[in-house]
Structure 1
Amino acid sequence: MDRFTRNAVIGSGVLVVLLILSLLPWGGMAFGPRIWQLNAVLERDPVLAEYPYDFKALLFLNGIVTLTRPYDADVPMDEALVAMDPTLAGKPADDPAFAAARDRLQRTEFHAIGLMLAEPDVRSIVWSLDRAWLNGRRIAFPAPNPVLGGSM
């Protein structure tokens, strides 16, 4: 077998393997196209589009979607709300504007949950602190515990 024929056979083999891999189902892949589809659902929704925070799907595994949000037990909701709406800065926590902002955030979260649960292969939602969003707004958050993988 000459050099050209050998290289043609190897190249054809590589193309066949790539074609087979492209045809395999990606539903079980944690970072495959399904996560892109779930994010597209979130991005296309008009209710979420008008909200100042962009909810994102980070991971899809075994029917569980991990969604981002700008607060958790270590980062108070009010700090995130001030970052989204600077007019809340300096107002007391019991101010009606804060209450309305909290209510809108929670309604929007429930809406995002509903969108995800409407997908036939999604069974559950878990939340993850959006550290990149907080960092971009210079909001302090605790470092993750390397042993536990979560907050200290």
Structure 2
Amino acid sequence: MDRQWEERFHQMEQRFNEQIQEQKQIQKALEEKLQSMTQGTLGVPTKTPTPPPASTKGSCSTAEPTDYSGQYDMLVEGDPAHIVAVGRVVEGGVTIHGVPIAPQHVHVMIDEVRDPEAQVPVPTPEVQFVGEAVGTFLAWPRALTVTHIGTQQV
């Protein structure tokens, strides 16, 4: 009986240590992203924002494909923070659905959903969950966007 408890305790301890390592990796990635964003520019934009082109939908600004940066993992806060989508940051986007984007947010377009039931960090009347966001422009906290490195979908 004691042997079973020892094994169970060991398994729980191992799982706990794995979760701690996972959280450390996420924290390190977020810290590196934050450092790369502040290094050299100190928050000063590297190029002057331009107004978005006229919307074809009438409810949100659009951007030409050349205005997109590389792919980013979109995270939500949690214990631990986790990737809920993969998308692109829209460079120069200053409004979404006619609402100015807060300085600590970026303008994103969701390309791939990882967790459709996760709530988006900045909901709109049309989009509250990540599963509703494919192909949609959203504001996303800059600190919760990390350069996509082709991680495996879990």
Q: Which has more helix, going by share of residues? A: 1
Q: Which has more strand, going by share of residues? A: 2
User: Bigger radius of gyration, 1 or 2?
Assistant: 1
